[in-house]
Amino acid sequence: MDRKNIEINPLLETYGKYIDRVNRALDRELSL
């Protein structure tokens, strides 16, 4: 279980950053 968490955490971080970027892009489009 611990090993899986160590492997998954970096993925979640990258995914979170990607979601942030998408959300910001959506905000920009909606405000146009």
Instruction: Quote the pLDDT of residue 18.
Output: 95
Residue with tokens 């405000």: 31
Q: What angle do CA 15, 24, 21 make, to 5 degrees?
A: 25
Chain segment 1-32, per-residue pLDDT in tens: 577 777 778 888 899 999 999 999 999 998 87
Q: What angle do CA 21, 26, 31 make, to 5 degrees?
A: 130
3-state per-residue secondary structure call for the chain: CHHHHHHHHHHHHHHHHHHHHHHHHHHHHHHC
